[in-house]
């Protein structure tokens, strides 16, 4: 474990940074299916889980004040992005932990609160978000990290049953034969999950061809 009050920055994949060493007798943690929540069981089935936690062999400790590579031209051709990656993750962690934003793609966060979404029809809502990144600025010979933010508003499909989205496209009426070309055009790139086995998904475009 770690001391009380220690902080964790995690990208929900393979990278994790901690403010104190993790003292573990074994690098592998076994998690029983009974110990995970219903959401995980729904999408992963009855499997148990094995998680390995090992130090990064190339960079076991990250020095946040080390800007040496940015004082020369080395970073222009062979940059070690570890520092920037950590800062980008750390700046995201609070919003994710508090269920305010969800990561979408690389470096993008979008609000997940339904009350802030704007319905524009066709089963689509507009959600506010930001595209963010960390750059290292020259700062008159004293390199320093700078946060770059670009506010965005992007369309998303509503989280609802497929039939509800189709009915939204047809303004609440049952779809007719002449509606399907338009429905296919709008939903062609969408993936859906089946209610009886939510870990299974398929692309609508393939099922309609």
One-letter-per-residue 3-state SS of 33-47: HHHCCHHHHHHHCCC
Predicted pLDDT at 75? 77
Alpha helices (H) along 81-195: 82-97, 162-169, 180-187
Residue of 14, 149, 16 whose CA lies nearest to 90? 16
Q: Does 43 map to a domain? A: yes
- Please tell me whether residues 121 and 184 are part of one structural domain: no
Q: Which domain holds residue 169?
A: 162-204
Q: What pLDDT, on the 0 to 100 scale, is given for residue 207? A: 59
Nearest to 102 by CA among 112, 93, 88: 112
Query: Measured between alpha carbons, how far is 141 from 193 in angstroms, rounded to an integer?
Result: 53
> Rounded mean pLDDT of the chain?
88
Q: Please give the Cα distance from 30 to 11 (Å, whole number).
A: 20
Rounded distance between C-alpha atoms, residue 68 and residue 60, angstroms: 18
pTM for the full model?
0.76
Same domain, 3 and 21: yes
Q: Nearest Cα to 106, choosing from 124, 127, 89?
A: 89
Percent of the chain past pLDDT 90, that is, above it, reads 49
Has residue 87 got a pLDDT over 60?
A: yes
Given a contact cutoff of 8 angstroms between Cβ atoms, the answer to whether 183 and 166 are in contact is: yes
- Secondary structure E strands in the chain: 8-10, 16-18, 28-31, 49-52, 101-103, 108-111, 118-121, 124-137, 144-157, 191-194, 197-203
Confidence check: pLDDT of 209 > 60: no
70 and 136 belong to one structural domain:
yes
Are 67 and 47 found together in one domain?
A: no
Domain count, the chain: 3
**Residue 109 β-bridge partners:** 103, 130
Burial state string for 151-168 with b = 16 or more CB within 10 A and e = fewer than 16: eeeeeebeeeebeebbbb
Confidence of residue 59 (pLDDT cuts 50, 70, 90): confident
Final residue in a domain of this structure, among 20, 38, 60: 60
Residues 127 and 111 in one domain: yes
Mean pLDDT of 105-110: 89
Report the pLDDT averaged over residues 79-95.
Answer: 91
Per-residue pLDDT at 147: 94
Quick one: 56 and 66 in the same domain? no
147-185 pLDDT per residue, tens: 999 999 999 999 899 999 999 999 999 999 999 999 999
Contact 123, 54 (CB under 8 A): no
């Amino acid at each position: 474990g770690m001391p009380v009050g220690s902080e964790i920055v995690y990208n929900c994949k393979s990278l994790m940074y901690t403010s104190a060493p993790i003292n573990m007798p074994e690098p592998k943690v076994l998690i029983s299916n009974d110990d995970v929540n219903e959401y995980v069981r729904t999408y992963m089935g009855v499997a148990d889980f094995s998680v390995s936690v090992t130090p990064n062999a190339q960079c076991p400790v990250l020095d946040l004040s080390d800007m040496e590579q940015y004082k020369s031209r080395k970073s222009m051709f062979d940059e070690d992005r570890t520092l920037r990656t950590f800062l980008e993750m750390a700046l995201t962690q609070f919003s994710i932990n508090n269920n305010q934003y969800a990561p979408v793609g690389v470096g993008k966060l979008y609000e997940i609160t339904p009350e802030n979404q704007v319905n524009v029809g066709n089963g689509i809502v507009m959600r506010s978000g930001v595209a963010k990144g960390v750059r290292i600025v020259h700062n008159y010979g004293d390199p320093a990290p700078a946060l770059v933010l670009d506010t965005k508003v992007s369309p998303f499909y509503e989280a609802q049953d497929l039939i509800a989205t189709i009915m939204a496209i047809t303004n609440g009426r049952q779809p007719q034969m002449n509606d399907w070309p338009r429905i296919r055009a709008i939903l062609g790139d969408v993936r859906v999950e089946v209610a009886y086995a939510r870990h299974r998904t398929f692309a609508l475009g393939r099922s309609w061809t």
